[in-house]
Structure 1
Amino acid sequence: MLKIITFCSKTRKPKSIYTFSQLRTFLSPAYYCNEVWEHRLNSPVLQKVNPEDLYNDVDQRYQKLKQISAVDVDIFTNSVNNNQFNGEILDLVHKLRLSADAYNALDSTSHAVIRTLMNYGNKSDLVDAIDDRLNYGLFLDSYTANLLLDTFWKERDYLQGARVASQIMLQEDFGVPLTDSLCLLHCYKYLEKPSEWPKYETVAEPEDEVKVRVKYLRNPYDDDHFDLRDSNKIIGKTLVFLTKGKDDVLSKSFNVLGLALFGKNEEAAKVASSYEKPLCKEVISLLPEDNKLDIKTESLEVEKLLISEVEKNINTSSETDIAKQCEVFSQWEQKRIEALNEQQKRYETQRRLETVKDLKEAIKEKETKLWFFENEEQIELDIMAKRVFYPKKWFGKKKKPRKIDEGYVPPEIRSRQES
């Protein structure tokens, strides 16, 4: 599994020997289909695109109209071939998610985002975006999941690999042997030396009590699936899904471990006691300290068995996956052209409708001027009908007018000199 490379000088005896250990990757370079993926840039649609200009145009249109086109986002994400637009890619995908055209998002958009950020960006940010399905809408398929799992295995980043496996669990997309075996391997390596699972940001409560009137209060609810936040429960449920319906010793051991981590202690004890063969000692030793089962165990080379299962699945499905993905690439290119043509037709129809509307208003205004004297009375009636009459305001109770005394004689006014 480990490959040691030693460099030493032939002319003189080296003072020290430098050794480099590199973990072997599972998938061959051909599985990544890099040549076919790069061939997309030869498309006439993408050759005419300047990513920077396209981003500015789409962003300005969104700021003005709060609208964004799924085809434009797909063209932008597929036209990027470097690390200069990683932030812009996530920004446009997020804005597309907020727009009304989100339901028209193309499958090639998600693949392009995952592939570009995997090759040129921060992989941790990529997994965070995949985990934030509501704001980004990035979903893994078996092929992209295999690429990520193989990349994280090569980099010994078992935490991110386990997070990818948890995404497959949340999508309930198990059943592909190669993906399942890679997920199981990453989960096991993560549980051997668990690291800190990313925490979700919580809104800080204000110091002063603030009362807000609401129509109704929601009762607290946890669906034990999308609401999972504890890393043990996430990994536990992933292991349960991965080993469901399997009866070999290793799968049964991981199933018991998954149930225990998920909090199903009684069910875990029941499965362990009903299994006739001894379970795997290395897997059972990963049980939480408060849930140690008194069952028979035997020692197995777990990592070696898991790696052999991955290699077997690669030999079985590698060529089929490559051929299928190459065909998908060509289908995506054709769908992009069709979607772009449909968008141009919609824009052309919208422009024609606006032109017809402007012509109708101009004709109506001209007709009003030409036939003004013949329709003067009707025009005045129309103007009066459009007037809005507001009710009179009440300024309080009116005072009674003063009564005038007819016999009142005003006093005689004299100056001081006369007096």
Structure 2
Amino acid sequence: MLKVFKQSLKFVNVQCVSVLKTRTFLSHAYYCNEVWEQRFQDPIIEKVNLDNLYNDLEQQYQRTRNISAVDVDVFAHGIRDESYIDELLDLLHKLRMSADTYNTLNSMSHAVVRTLTNFNKIDQLLLTLDDRLNYGIFLDYYTANLLLDKFWKSKDYTSGARVASQLMLQEDFNHPISSALSLLHCFKFLQNPSEWPQPPKPEEPEEEVKIRIKYIRNPYDDQHFDLTDPNKIVGKTLMEITRPFKDSLNHSFYLLGVTLFKPDNAQGVVDKLINDNVIVYKDVLSMIPAEKLNMLKLDTLQTESVNLDELLENNVQNVVNKLSEKDIALQCQTYLQWEKERKEALANQHKRLLTMQRLANVDKLQQDLKEKEMLLWFFENEEKIELEIEAKKKEIEANKDQNQGVKKKQEEEEYVPPEVHKKKDVLQ
């Protein structure tokens, strides 16, 4: 009997360990799923027909090359199944090309991130975040925390490091939970690097095509948005995360980040750590590539061995315990504020449409009155009308001549004279 009890106890312990290994740092309450689903109770979202809305926005864009930001926001919040993901991304791109992209609501990025995450469209989400110019989707601390926690649970450390790099590009490591989770993901990625997706290269033409251009731009790398090397990206991310802190953990990872991003500056950081008598963790130094480690003089650097996994996980758990309840309360208030902003934006859009309609009606009325006046007083103003017609013809002819002159000038500028060779003597 005692033997059976010990075996069952051992089985329970194994189960507990496996559960702990797959646990998330953020509680179920942190995701605010119940409050997020309440958006469907909003009459605006509840009654929207996504097919009709998409068709209306598509036709509006084809006519005016412009669509409304608040309408796209309503579409993003009204999605209930994954069949509308392609339409959502298409509308985001069209909005980005529209003048009304300036009025994009604060809730837009949140809705896109949560929708793609809920339907497990992770690849599309990360590509959308990378393509800021065409989609304009940016992370805030809350959506970053949700993604980092999700990727931690699925052990997708590469995706977690890519999310952390998005915060680096935005220079937004102000939230302790985001910083701690990002540091953990970058560490795990460097422990076991996997393939980092690269932007697609332009297709090479089958035949050589020569294009005449006025000048060639010198290649330029801003060392920020132009970064493509994963080691440099993660290195700069580590530098941005750890820069504000002065403890041994952050100093160690800052040195690692400098070594990966700007190895020429690494020795200066080492010298400063030696002068300040800062202890650096050996486990972090072991992650520095061998060819770069050999370039550093670490003889007098104070080092110490620690369990980095445990230290980083405890760091995350501590900040989560301190800030999770505050974040939950703030996010619930934010959802209510976004609903209010959406209603105000729709009301303002309705006012603008009414104003534009009134102005169009006034213009049409003025045009009708002008035509009636011309008919009624035609014979009295016949000479004046003929002079106006004659002046209009001359203006058209002048514009035509001017356009022909510009076209001729352009042709002359584009003309490439043939190569002239000295004529050989016939006798030769």
Give the TM-score range, shorter chain. Answer: 0.7 to 0.9
The residue type equivalent to 1:336 in the other structure is R
**1:163 is the counterpart of 2:140:** no
Bigger Rg, which one: 1
How far apart in 2 are the matches of 1:291 and 1:379?
A: 85
Checking the alignment, whether the CA contact within 8 Å between 2:141 and 2:178 is kept in structure 1 is yes
Checking the alignment, whether the CA contact within 8 Å between 2:252 and 2:280 is kept in structure 1 is yes
The residue type equivalent to 1:291 in the other structure is K
Q: CA deviation at 1:380?
A: 1.8
How far apart in 2 are the matches of 1:357 and 1:152?
A: 58
After superposition, the Cα gap between the structure-2 partners of 1:20 and 1:310, relative to the gap in structure 1 and judged at 3 Å, is closer
Which residue does 1:291 correspond to in 2? 292
Q: CA deviation at 1:67?
A: 1.1
Checking the alignment, whether the CA contact within 8 Å between 1:33 and 1:322 is kept in structure 2 is yes
Q: CA deviation at 1:65?
A: 2.0
The residue type equivalent to 2:67 in the other structure is I
Which residue does 1:114 correspond to in 2? 113
How far apart in 2 are the matches of 1:67 and 1:296?
A: 61
Structure 1 window deviating more from structure 2 (367-376 vs 103-112): it is 367-376
Q: CA deviation at 1:164?
A: 0.4
The residue type equivalent to 1:137 in the other structure is G
Checking the alignment, whether the CA contact within 8 Å between 2:279 and 2:302 is kept in structure 1 is yes
Q: CA deviation at 1:210?
A: 3.2
Which residue does 1:306 correspond to in 2? 312
Per-residue CA deviations over 1:284-316 (Å, capped at 9, x if unaligned) read: 111012012445532211111111111111111
Per-residue CA deviations over 1:238-282 (Å, capped at 9, x if unaligned) read: 111111132222211111111111133333433454452442122
Q: CA deviation at 1:98?
A: 0.7
Which residue does 2:351 correspond to in 1? 345
Q: Secondary structure at the match of 2:82?
A: coil
Q: Secondary structure at the match of 2:290?
A: coil
How far apart in 2 are the matches of 1:121 and 1:103?
A: 29
Which residue does 2:260 correspond to in 1? 261
Q: CA deviation at 1:207?
A: 5.3
Q: CA deviation at 1:224?
A: 1.0
After superposition, the CA RMSD in angstroms is 2.2
Which residue does 2:426 correspond to in 1? none
Q: Secondary structure at the match of 2:244?
A: coil
Which residue does 2:327 correspond to in 1? 321
How far apart in 2 are the matches of 1:93 and 1:206?
A: 30
Matches for 1:8-407 after TM superposition, within 5 Å: 23-206=22-205, 208-264=207-263, 265-274=266-275, 276-292=277-293, 293=296, 294=298, 295-388=301-394, 390=397
Percent identical among aligned pairs is 52
Which residue does 2:425 correspond to in 1? none
Q: CA deviation at 1:124?
A: 2.0
The residue type equivalent to 1:362 in the other structure is D
How far apart in 2 are the matches of 1:390 and 1:124?
A: 58
Checking the alignment, whether the CA contact within 8 Å between 1:259 and 1:267 is kept in structure 2 is no
Q: CA deviation at 1:45?
A: 1.1
Checking the alignment, whether the CA contact within 8 Å between 1:83 and 1:121 is kept in structure 2 is no
Q: Secondary structure at the match of 1:53?
A: helix
Which residue does 1:416 correspond to in 2? none
Q: Secondary structure at the match of 1:232?
A: helix
Per-residue CA deviations over 1:312-331 (Å, capped at 9, x if unaligned) read: 11111111111111111111
Q: CA deviation at 1:200?
A: 1.1
Q: CA deviation at 1:110?
A: 0.7
Per-residue CA deviations over 1:200-250 (Å, capped at 9, x if unaligned) read: 112144454433333443222111111111100000011111111322222
The residue type equivalent to 1:210 in the other structure is V
TM-score (norm: length of structure 2) = 0.83
Checking the alignment, whether the CA contact within 8 Å between 1:185 and 1:307 is kept in structure 2 is yes
Which residue does 1:13 correspond to in 2? none
How far apart in 2 are the matches of 1:238 and 1:275?
A: 24
Q: CA deviation at 1:91?
A: 1.1
How far apart in 1 are the matches of 2:198 and 2:139?
A: 21
After superposition, the Cα gap between the structure-2 partners of 1:375 and 1:24, relative to the gap in structure 1 and judged at 3 Å, is same
Q: What residue ranges of structure 1 are gaps of 5+ in the alignment?
A: 1-7, 9-16, 394-419
**Greater fraction helix:** 2
The residue type equivalent to 1:168 in the other structure is L
Q: Secondary structure at the match of 1:290?
A: helix
How far apart in 1 are the matches of 2:119 and 2:179?
A: 26
The residue type equivalent to 1:320 in the other structure is K
The residue type equivalent to 2:315 in the other structure is E
After superposition, the Cα gap between the structure-2 partners of 1:192 and 1:275, relative to the gap in structure 1 and judged at 3 Å, is farther
Q: CA deviation at 1:90?
A: 1.1
The residue type equivalent to 1:30 in the other structure is A
The residue type equivalent to 1:299 in the other structure is S
Which residue does 2:4 correspond to in 1? none
Checking the alignment, whether the CA contact within 8 Å between 1:162 and 1:183 is kept in structure 2 is yes
The residue type equivalent to 2:321 in the other structure is N
Q: Number of paired residues?
A: 377
How far apart in 1 are the matches of 2:140 and 2:239?
A: 20
How far apart in 1 are the matches of 2:397 and 2:331?
A: 69
How far apart in 2 are the matches of 1:103 and 1:268?
A: 42
Q: What residue ranges of structure 2 are gaps of 5+ in the alignment?
A: 1-7, 9-14, 402-428
